[in-house]
């Protein structure tokens, strides 16, 4: 038998190195490398061990055992891919106060209403606090079991006693594994806790949902391996100034990873919003200059929203640019193209304010043409008809580039009653009938689209 070989591991990130170093090469932490017990090495090949169960042909594997079970919340099921798969582990991450616990209590309520047992483990609140929130949101049900616990072994004991089909851990950063090194919420602890819970889910067929914290940059807190261990990673997003909340799929082994579910935070809990486009549209009686309707894609979902612009002349050498809900750098580029390619020299001496309606956040280039036309509309005081949607990416040469999923965008616009669409001339998709299509090749064509119309016509 060979002599045991020592190794060294970082207490912060778990990275292993062959010899001791003062600074971890992975995370850059100083003084975090500790020696760990080695295992005897041998030159002989590991002997084969008879498997406990033989390998099956893929045609003989029962697929029904992994069929998704609906949670009862349509928007959440949309992101998960028809529902929760038994034995799966789901990580739900979001900023503090965004409504993660409230959403999961809503899911637990619908789960228990179908005569299924759910176990809710809270490590950040007392059981009484969770009960008060459950009463406010109507989530009190005899099939819901509640425990305030942070010890991993005790949590596994609760699972043995209750035998739930759904278990919530709120949150994974508060659970402590007594056999693992590191502080609570540290890299080593989180990895050990998650590994044990994944093993529990796979062996017992229990669906486990872990609540995770996020860093100040918005990323999931903890080691990157945490996202690799779980089956599904969901990001719960929301603005404190808006009631709108979105659950976005980041990773999903059972469905599409780019789906988005929309919710609204109210006093009595979180309610799903199956048709969120109405939130992003301003209800106005007549056409207003500077307001343009656009259709953006958030994952696979087409959302109809509105961008509004306001331009005021100023004597300042550096006019102000204020942007809300849009990418500031993208807006600056569109304004520069509008000034150079569409002849709007007054932009150099104008303050420009741009905002989306309803707290919508847009980063995709398909909103470029809507931004340009909203600014042009407020400069000329000629409104874009509110029955028109605008789709297109603006290039630095003033060309209008085609974007993806135009047919899906137009289908959503048609469903909401829009009658006209301005799209890139190079679009080669099969477009839906019943909506008038206006194709433009460059920004000049777009801004002068109706110059031949009467004076009071839009643009």
Q: Using one digit for the tens of pLDDT, what is the confidence trace for 237-253?
A: 887 777 889 899 999 99
Residue 457 scores a pLDDT above 60? no
Give the model's pLDDT for residue 69: 92
User: Is 36 annotated to bind ligand?
Assistant: no
Say which DSSP state 59 is in. Answer: G
Higher pLDDT, 185 or 401: 401
**Residue 74: strand, helix, or coil:** helix
Give the model's pLDDT for residue 5: 61
* Mean pLDDT of the 401-424 span: 94
CA distance 187 to 342: 54
CA distance 147 to 124: 11
User: Is 83 annotated to bind ligand?
Assistant: no
Per cent of the chain over pLDDT 90 is 57
User: Is 99 annotated to bind ligand?
Assistant: yes
Give the model's pLDDT for residue 152: 95
User: Is 123 annotated to bind ligand?
Assistant: no
Residue 110 binned pLDDT confidence (cut-offs 50, 70, 90): very high
* Mean pLDDT of the 179-193 span: 86
Give the model's pLDDT for residue 277: 80
CA distance 192 to 283: 52
- Residue 453: partners with Cβ closer than 8 Å, 6 or more residues away: none
Give the model's pLDDT for residue 456: 39
Query: Helix 368-380 and helix 328-341: axis angle, to 10°?
Result: 60
Give the model's pLDDT for residue 253: 92
**Residue 152: strand, helix, or coil:** helix
* Mean pLDDT of the 160-185 span: 91
The closest of 315, 279, 320 to 298, measured between CA atoms, is: 279
User: Is 179 annotated to bind ligand?
Assistant: no
Structure token digits, residue 440: 């433009």
Count Cα neighbours of 370 within 13 Å in the Cβ-side half-sphere.
Answer: 28
- Residues 260-295 pLDDT 10s: 999 988 888 888 988 888 777 776 667 889 999 999
Give the model's pLDDT for residue 208: 97
- Residues 71-87 pLDDT 10s: 999 999 999 988 999 99
Contact criterion met (CB below 8 Å) for 234 and 76: no
CA distance 347 to 145: 62
Per cent of the chain over pLDDT 70 is 93
- Residues 335-354 pLDDT 10s: 999 999 888 889 988 999 99
- Residues 193-219 pLDDT 10s: 999 999 999 999 999 999 998 887 777
Residue 458 binned pLDDT confidence (cut-offs 50, 70, 90): very low
Residue 6 scores a pLDDT above 90? no
Q: Is the peptide bond before 171 cis (omega within 30 degrees of 0)?
A: yes
- Residues 425-456 pLDDT 10s: 999 999 999 999 999 999 999 988 865 554 33
pTM: 0.78
User: Is 101 annotated to bind ligand?
Assistant: yes
User: Is 142 annotated to bind ligand?
Assistant: no
The closest of 132, 164, 130, 165 to 147, measured between CA atoms, is: 130
Give the model's pLDDT for residue 30: 80
User: Is 98 annotated to bind ligand?
Assistant: yes
Give the model's pLDDT for residue 186: 83
Strand partners, 401: 393
* Mean pLDDT of the 314-341 span: 91
Residue 45 scores a pLDDT above 80? no
Higher pLDDT, 16 or 272: 272
* Mean pLDDT of the 171-180 span: 90
Residue 43 scores a pLDDT above 70? no
Highest averaged pLDDT of the listed ranges 13-17, 28-32, 311-315: 311-315
Residue 44 binned pLDDT confidence (cut-offs 50, 70, 90): low
CA-only gyration radius of the chain, Å:
28
Say which DSSP state 432 is in. Answer: P
**Residue 23: strand, helix, or coil:** strand
Higher pLDDT, 240 or 162: 162
Q: Strands 89-94, 207-212: parallel, antiparallel or unpaired by DSSP?
A: parallel
- Residues 345-383 pLDDT 10s: 899 889 999 999 888 889 899 999 999 999 999 999 999
CA distance 404 to 392: 10
CA distance 333 to 309: 15
Give the model's pLDDT for residue 268: 81
């Amino acid at each position: 038998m060979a002599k045991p070989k020592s190794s060294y591991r970082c207490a912060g990130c778990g990275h292993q190195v062959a010899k001791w170093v003062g600074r971890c090469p992975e995370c850059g932490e100083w003084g975090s490398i500790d020696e760990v017990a080695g295992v005897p090495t041998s030159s002989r090949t590991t002997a084969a061990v008879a498997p406990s169960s033989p390998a099956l042909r893929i045609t003989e594997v029962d697929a029904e055992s992994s069929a998704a079970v609906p949670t009862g919340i349509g928007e959440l099921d949309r992101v998960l891919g028809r529902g929760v798969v038994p034995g799966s582990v789901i990580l739900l991450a979001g900023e503090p106060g965004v409504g993660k616990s409230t959403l999961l209590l809503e899911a637990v309520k619908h789960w228990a209403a179908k005569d299924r047992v759910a176990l809710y483990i809270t490590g950040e609140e007392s059981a009484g606090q969770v009960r008060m929130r459950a009463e406010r949101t109507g989530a009190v049900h005899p099939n819901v079991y509640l425990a305030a616990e942070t010890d991993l072994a005790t949590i596994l004991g609760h699972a043995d006693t209750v035998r739930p089909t759904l278990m919530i851990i709120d949150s994974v950063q508060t659970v402590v594994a007594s056999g693992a090194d590191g502080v609570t919420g540290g890299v080593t602890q989180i990895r050990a806790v998650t590994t044990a819970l994944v093993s529990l889910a796979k062996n017992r067929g229990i669906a486990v949902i872990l609540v995770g914290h996020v860093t100040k940059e918005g990323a999931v807190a903890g080691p990157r391996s945490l996202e690799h261990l779980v089956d599904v990673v969901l990001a719960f997003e929301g603005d404190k100034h808006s009631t709108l909340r979105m659950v976005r799929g980041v990773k999903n082994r059972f469905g599409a990873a780019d789906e988005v579910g929309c919710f609204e935070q109210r006093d009595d809990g979180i309610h799903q919003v199956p048709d969120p486009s109405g939130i992003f549209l301003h209800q106005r009686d007549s056409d207003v200059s500077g307001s343009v309707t656009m259709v953006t894609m958030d994952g696979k979902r087409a959302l109809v929203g509105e961008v509004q612009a306001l331009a005021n002349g100023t004597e300042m050498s550096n006019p102000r640019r204020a942007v809300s809900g849009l990418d500031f750098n993208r807006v600056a580029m569109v304004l520069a193209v509008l000034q150079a390619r569409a002849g709007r020299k007054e932009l150099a001496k104008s303050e420009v304010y741009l905002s989306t309606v309803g707290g919508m956040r847009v980063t995709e280039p398909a909103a470029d043409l809507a931004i340009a036309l909203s600014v042009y509309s407020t400069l000329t005081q000629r409104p874009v008809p509110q029955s028109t949607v605008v789709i297109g990416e603006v290039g630095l040469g003033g060309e209008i580039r085609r974007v993806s999923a135009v047919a899906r965008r137009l289908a959503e616009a048609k469903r909401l009653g829009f009658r006209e669409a301005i799209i890139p001339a190079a679009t080669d998709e099969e477009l839906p009938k019943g909506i008038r299509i206006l194709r433009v090749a460059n920004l000049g064509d777009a801004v002068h689209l109706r110059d031949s119309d009467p004076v009071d016509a839009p643009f």
